[in-house]
Structures are given as structure tokens and as C-alpha cells.
Amino acid sequence: MQVSGALTRVRPMSTRRPVDSDLFATTLAAVGVVILAATLLSGLIEKTGLPHVAVFLGMGALLGPYGVGQLHVGLDSPILRVVSTLSLALVLFTDAITLDLNELRRHVVLALRVLGPGTILSGALTALAGWLLLDITPASAAILGAALASTDPVLLRGLIKRQEVPTDARMALRLESGLNDAVLLPVIFIAMTLMGGDSGAMVMLRQTANVFLLGPLVGVVVGFLAVLLLEVMRKRTGIRRDYESIYSLGVAFTAFALGEAVHGSGFLSAFAAGLTILVRDVELCDCFVEYGETTAEMALLFTFVLFGVSTIWSGLEVISPATVAFTVLALVVRPLVFPLALMGSGMQPRGRWIVSWFGPRGLSSLLLVLIPVFAGVPGAPRLLSVCSLVVLTSVVVHGASLMLLAHSFQGEADAPLRPVKLPEKVSIDALVALQAERNDVVVADVRTSKAARASEVQIQGALRLRPSHAVDDVRAANIPLSAPIILYCA
């Protein structure tokens, strides 16, 4: 009897292992496919303007129940929860650490226009439309409006990289995509607190303090200590460059975990940690930021695949006259609000049109609305379905617009340039000889801000270029595209 009982206890475990093993293998295969496809299709996507989102949503549909049925991911899937949570945390951390404070100071008025009258007013009007059309509470409408006011950084990345887009328009979109989630996230947390229902005023006040004070404070401490430890170990023993490149992931995830552990917001902790590193102006290895950005993009693309398996298609199940009307209004609000927000900014009409139209909804919107879903907020799954319908429509509408815009820029991009052959390294004598031969030679100082401030030596007449925004600075200086540019960083 004892042996029989032991066998009966073991047997269910043995039947579950193949399922778990198959799920693990399928998920790992999906990760591999995403990385391979993102790499192999990157050139084609860049040339054609084909949205990354559409490609990877389609990949998810192919792998899911609507396709070959190899991957099953629902709202209750731990894989979706873990990947989406870490993706949003990493995106917020990367957005903070890649901000250019000098750039932000120079364009602070533009940032305030984009985030204030632009993002916040768009979210408020979208929330009002949801409240009137969808028969939901004001707090639920606020969550939906905040989520849909967020623009998708993956879909915008191809547009921002195009040099044919006016500089001020790219600046506005870069500032918006880097800061709007941090502005909209508090709105969602406040709405979730208000939806607590029977919680007392003191309980709600304590929850709010934990989210907006304790969470960011933890992030500041983690960011400060992370930089301190990095600098100490660099001086004492040195740090291998390849290991330093993954340090950003450790900082982001540690800040998120500790923020959650003290019952604050892990997302705000991750953003605060990145902002602390940025403000401390530490000399970071370029790979530190680049690896974080690349990893964040891969995580976003993989999350798109998971959504494409089944979750996002729930948007098609809620189609009705009310949801269709709401979807149209959600996409039209931005082109109505942003021209007014940018009025008097000095931006040319073409730039204002691009900024006003290209506010695509994508993974950022879905990740934000998933926060109340995972928190078990009543009615949140319906908000996700409505948000999914808007995102699917945005992928089609804004994705097609990006492709048309890419083709309209093709002629400008293909303009012939006079090639100038230069060696990889140019000596001082060779530079002097080149300057004697041509009068359009540009010498550019591309040292980091910290290195440039620490040194009193500079080549006379050198143009100062920021390493992360060199192209923008070249365009702002009206340097001809055929001019040879000699770079120095030491």
C-alpha cells in the first residue's frame, strides 16, 4: 500500500514534466526566432518602413493557436507577466539613462509643450471619450486614457532615425517617447488607488506615499550605490568591458525588485535609478548604454510576439459601435491637440504635422494597461481588450503611414554624394595637408561631456559634437554632406 501510494504520488509529476519541458523549449525557441528575425529583417524593415510591430505580432499569431499551435500564452501565463514586467522596467530605466540633460535644458520649453498640453491633454480627452462611450468608471477611463497617450518607442525608432525628418520634430518625438511613460505611470497608480473601493483614507494615503515616495527613493539609493561601486572597482581592480556592458541590466532589475519589496512601485524605482546615474554624470562605457538599449528592444519585440499569440487579438472580440467610435477618437485626439500645443514653438509646419500624426500606440500602451490587470483590478481585462483594439488599428494606420513616409523620403536619401576616401586614422600632418587641399574639412570634438570639461586642450576651430547626437549637431551646423569630418576623442 505504501509503495502504491508513493507511485500514485509520483505519477502526476511525471506526466507534468513533458508539458513543462515542451513549454520551456517552445519559449526558448521563440526567443531565438525573435533575435534571428530582428537581425535578419532589420535592413529590410529600415528600407521599406515596415513596422516591427506588425512583423512580430504576425510571428506570434503564427506560433499561437491561430497558427501552428506551438505556443499558448494567456493573461494568466507567468511568462507573459514576467517578460512584460521586466520589459517595462528596462524601458523606463533605459529612457532615463539615455536622456541628454544638456539637450533637455536647451529644449525644456518644447518638452513641456509635448508632455503638458500634448501628452496629458491627449490622455485626458481620451479618458473622457472612454467614460462617455464605454460605460466605465472615471478611474477606469483615466487608466485607459493614460495608457493610450503613451507612444510606442519601437514604432517611432525608425522615424526618429530618418535624417530627412526635421531636427526639431525628431527632438520632440525623442523627448516624448523618453519621458511620457514616467508622466503617465503616476496617473495609472493614482487611478488604481482610487479603485481600491472600501479602503480608508489613511490606507490610500499610505499606498500613495509608498508608490510615489518610497519607490523612487529606493531607485535613487540603488542608482547611487551602483555608480559608487562601479567607480571603486574600476580604480582598484578594473572591470572587464564585456561585463560592464551587462551592469545596466543588474541595476535596472535590482532597483525594480527592491522597489516592489518595500511595497512601492518597481517601475518608478527603475526610472529613478536610471535618472540618478544620469544626474551623477558618471563616465560610463558606451556599451553600458548600448547593451541596455539593445536588450530593451529585444525584450519589447519578444513581448510583441507573446501578445501576438492570443492576448492582443481579444481586441477584435470587443468590436461594437461604441468601441469603434472610441478607437477613432483615440487616434484623432492627438492630431487635434498637438498642433495647438506646438503653436508658437517655432517648429515648421512639416515638423508639426509629423509630430501630431505619428503618435503610434503599441507595446507601451499594452504594458501600462497590464499593470492593473496583473494587480487584479476589477474590469481591467476589458480595458486591455479595448486598448488592444486601438493598438491593432494604430499598427495598421500608423504603420502604413510610416511606409508611405519612407518612400516619400527615398529620393532624398538616395541623393548622390561625392565620396571622400580617408584612412581610419589621420595624423596631424595629414590633416594639415588635407586642409590645405580643401576648404570644407571639419574637425570635430566627439569626447564625452565629462572628458571635455576635464581637459583644457582642444583643437583650434574644432566643432563640438555630442557622441549620442552627432548627426543632429552636424545638421544644426549646416555642414555639407560631402564635407570630410575628422573626429578626435582624446
Percent of the chain clearing pLDDT 70 (strictly above): 75
Domain parsing of the chain, residue ranges: 25-413, 428-488
Q: What is the pLDDT of residue 12?
A: 40
- Between 380 and 208, where is the model more confident? 380
- What is the average per-residue pLDDT within 321-345? 92
**Cβ atoms 93, 292 nearer than 8 A:** yes
pLDDT band at 144 (very low <50, low <70, confident <90, very high): very high
Q: Which of 157, 183, 179, 180 has its CA nearest to residue 170?
A: 157
pLDDT at 136: 93
Q: Tell me the pLDDT tens digit for each residue of 257-281.
A: 998 888 888 888 998 998 888 887 6
pLDDT of residue 453: 58
- Can you give the pLDDT at residue 481? 67
Per-residue pLDDT tens over the stretch 67-119: 777 777 777 788 888 888 888 888 888 878 877 777 777 788 888 888 888 89
DSSP annotation of 210: I
CATH class of 25-413: mainly alpha
Whether 254 has a pLDDT exceeding 90, the answer reads yes
Out of 22-26, 135-139, 243-247, 386-390, which region has the weakest mean confidence (pLDDT)?
22-26
pLDDT of residue 330: 93
Q: How many CA atoms within 13 Å lie on the side-chain side of 183?
A: 24
* 388-421 pLDDT per residue, tens: 999 999 988 887 777 776 666 554 444 444 455 6
Going by C-alpha positions, the residue among 271, 239, 286 that lies closest to residue 446 is 286
For 164-209, what is each residue's pLDDT tens digit? 777 788 888 878 877 788 788 888 988 888 876 544 455 556 666 6
Of the ranges 77-81, 281-285, 321-325, 357-361, the best mean pLDDT one: 321-325
Distance CA(265)–CA(166), nearest Å, equals: 37
Supply the pLDDT for residue 198.
45
Q: Specify the pLDDT at position 7.
A: 33
The residues facing 463 across adjacent strands are 444
Buried residues in 243-279 as b, exposed as e (16+ CB within 10 A): ebbebbbebbbbbbebbbeeebbbbbbbbbbbbbbbe
Average pLDDT over residues 243-268: 85
More confident residue, 332 or 210: 332
Q: What is the mean pLDDT of residues 52-76?
A: 78
Q: CB neighbours (10 Å) of residue 429?
A: 8
The average pLDDT across 341-347 equals 84
Position 15 scores a pLDDT of 41
354: left (phi over 0), alpha (psi -120 to 50) or beta: alpha
Lowest mean pLDDT, pick from 122-126, 253-257, 261-265:
261-265
Cβ–Cβ under 8 Å, residues 444 and 489:
no
Residues above pLDDT 90, as percent of the chain = 17
Listing DSSP states for 117-161 in one string gives: IIIIHHHHHHHHHHHHHS---HHHHHHHHHHHTSPPHHHHHHHHT
pTM: 0.72
> 85 and 91 in contact (C-beta within 8 Å)?
no
Q: What is the mean pLDDT of residues 420-445?
A: 73
Q: Which position has the grid cell 484623432?
A: 332
Q: Are 183 and 121 in contact (CB under 8 A)?
A: no
